[in-house]
């Protein structure tokens, strides 16, 4: 799966579907007089705006390395994920403040059959879009697409709150507070999603230890090339998303010639480039 193409496709699909959902939900809100549904429509429109940024970040991240950025521009994906996390946090705050205000004013949403139908459709469509984004994010290990998936889910959660409030207000007027309480729980869920996105993106920006699976796979390949006595160690991975740099150590006989040691290191570097698509730099330690 092409990383850039998949991200752009997800962003374009998101923009188009969200624009359609916004128009339908806004129309239904105006027809039924549901303030909650109109607010939910504008939340859906915010998804389109962040999805436009998803497409823009894909183009920025795919730019070739240049003199100022010799390792490429792939980390634009992480910057975009952080921005989306901030947007989610803002949406969560709106959820929280609106829910508290509704509770204080003893407000409940306005019931309408059209509102229920449109809101139910929105929940299904937005969750399908979230699953699509999560799938693309897993396949391409793309933080910004995963973040966009959580944005879709936040919209689905807001629609769940609206739907619950509409249904409950029809059958049980004593539960006027249900919409407010569910809104608070949805705000907490959105805050948690924003935290996870932010934590992962910042962690990758700061630099991480390579996964143990990658280390084990490299050592397996090294042993197949040069025997079980040669183990790579002291792995450090510099992840630029579209480009990865790996530094590691190998221990060689101190009596080996520089030429032979250089050949072994070069063979391992070439193997890592070929099999793992990572540029490796190897430091040689002499055995005692």
- 8 within 8 A of 89, measured Cβ to Cβ: no
d(CA 16, CA 79): 24
pTM, whole model, 2 decimals?
0.64
Among 279, 201, 240, 278, which residue's Cα sits nearest to residue 61? Answer: 240
Which tops the pLDDT comparison, 43 or 248? Answer: 248
Q: By three-state DSSP, how is residue 286 classified?
A: strand
Show the domains of the chain with their CATH numbers.
3-206 (1.20.1510.10), 212-286 (3.30.70.1350)
Rank 82-96, 101-115, 119-133, 236-250 by mean pLDDT and report only the highest. 119-133
pLDDT recorded at residue 73 = 75
pLDDT recorded at residue 131 = 93
Could you report the per-residue pLDDT of 75-93, keeping only the tens digit for each?
777 787 788 788 878 877 8
Which tops the pLDDT comparison, 248 or 184? Answer: 248
- 179 within 8 A of 161, measured Cβ to Cβ: yes
Could you report the per-residue pLDDT of 26-72, keeping only the tens digit for each?
888 777 666 666 667 777 777 777 778 777 777 777 777 777 777 77
Task: Report residue 150 as tokens.
Answer: 């959580």
d(CA 273, CA 192): 37
């Amino acid at each position: 799966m092409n990383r850039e193409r998949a991200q752009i496709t997800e962003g374009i699909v998101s923009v188009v579907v969200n624009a359609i959902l916004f128009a339908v939900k806004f129309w239904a809100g105006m027809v039924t007089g549901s303030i909650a549904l109109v607010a939910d429509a504008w939340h859906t429109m915010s998804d389109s705006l962040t999805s436009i940024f998803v497409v823009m970040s894909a183009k920025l991240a795919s730019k070739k390395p240049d003199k100022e950025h010799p390792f490429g521009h792939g980390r634009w994906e992480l910057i975009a994920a952080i921005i989306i996390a901030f947007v989610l946090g803002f949406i969560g705050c709106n959820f929280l403040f609106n829910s508290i205000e509704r509770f204080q004013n003893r407000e409940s949403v306005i019931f309408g059959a059209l509102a229920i139908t449109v809101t139910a459709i929105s929940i299904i469509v937005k969750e399908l879009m979230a699953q699509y984004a999560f799938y693309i994010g897993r396949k391409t290990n793309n933080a910004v697409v995963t973040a966009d998936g959580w944005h879709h889910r936040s919209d689905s959660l807001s629609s769940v709150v609206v739907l619950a409030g509409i249904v409950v207000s029809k059958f049980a007027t004593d539960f006027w507070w249900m919409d407010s309480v569910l809104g608070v729980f949805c705000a907490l869920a959105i805050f948690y999603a924003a935290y996870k996105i932010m934590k992962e993106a910042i962690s990758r920006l700061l630099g991480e230890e390579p996964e143990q699976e990658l280390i084990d796979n490299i050592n397996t390949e090294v042993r197949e090339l040069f025997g079980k006595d040669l183990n790579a160690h002291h792995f450090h991975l510099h992840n630029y998303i579209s480009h990865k740099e790996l530094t590691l150590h190998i221990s060689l006989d101190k009596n080996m010639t520089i030429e032979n040691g250089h050949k072994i290191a070069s063979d391992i570097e070439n193997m890592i480039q070929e099999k793992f698509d990572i540029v490796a730099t190897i430091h040689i330690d002499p055995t005692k």
